[in-house]
Structure 1
Amino acid sequence: MSIKSTEQEIASFCFKEIPSSNKTQLADNNDKLSKFKSDIRRLPAMITNNGLLATMTFYKKNNDKVYNIINKWFSNKSGRDIDLIKYLTNLTYEELLFKTSEALKLADWLKRIVEVKIKDDKTTQEE
């Protein structure tokens, strides 16, 4: 049995959750993929500026794919299916700070991996 750090667990989870694709090959999904990548890129800043609860509420309404990834992470960590918004509202202040720190690590890894796995049109034209 190997022991993984939290960073390794998060990186592995994110790598599995972000689909590999080349946007030029998926013309019909190009707008959706572009929006998804954009939303992932700004996720860490949104958590930092607005807080985890407000950010997750925003994403639940505007990009449920991003919300579902974060929800899945916290569901897996708690060992049960949760509604992330309800879960976060029931935490103490200290617990919410800890979960926010964990979500920022997750958001940073999502951002890194989305840059690698979802290629921009500009990048693929240069290759």
Structure 2
Amino acid sequence: MNIKSIEQEMAQFCFNEISSYKIKLDKSDELLKFKSDIRRLPAMITNNGLLATLVFFKKSNENVYNIINGWFSNKLQNIDLIEYLTKENYEDLLFKTSEVLKLANWLKRIVEVEIKDVKTTEE
């Protein structure tokens, strides 16, 4: 029997998602914007709150929102995370915020390793 911790499941999910977007976003500008948004995700959640951050990314970079929503869709049967969280009580919102912060930290770690910065040389 193969038992995985929640951290292992998150790491695997994040690795798969980042790998998928790495192929999907073949243009370097899109990929670098994706990387930049993922890197600032944990700080945005901490500073602005989970709901505000999700609404922001649903508008500005839906790829980031879709990854987070995908993590919960697997567990909560294809829901829209913003709609779901607006109906939850405060304790559950705090619990989900903590879970998304863990997910965001895994995404950040993996994106920093998997997506290389493109350096242009101007002479």
TM-score by length of 1: 0.87
Counterpart of 1:93, as a letter, is: Y
Q: How does 1:1-127 map onto structure 2 within 5 Å?
A: 1-19=1-19, 21=22, 26=26, 29-78=27-76, 80-122=77-119
- Contact 2:28 / 2:118 at 8 angstroms: preserved in 1? no
Using the alignment, how far apart are the partners of 2:37 and 2:90 within structure 1?
Answer: 26
The TM-score, its normalising length taken from structure 2, stands at 0.90
Q: 1:119 aligns to what SS in structure 2?
A: coil
Once the two structures are TM-superposed, the CA of residue 104 in structure 1 deviates from its matched residue by 0.2
CA shift at 1:121, angstroms?
1.9
For these two proteins, the number of residue pairs brought into alignment is 117
| 4+ residue runs over 6 A deviation | none
Answer yes or no: is the 8 Å Cα contact 2:41–2:104 preserved in 1.
Answer: yes
CA contact (8 A) 2:14 2:107 kept: yes
CA apart distance, 1:112: 0.4
Cα distance in 2, alignment partners of residues 8 and 76 from structure 1: 16
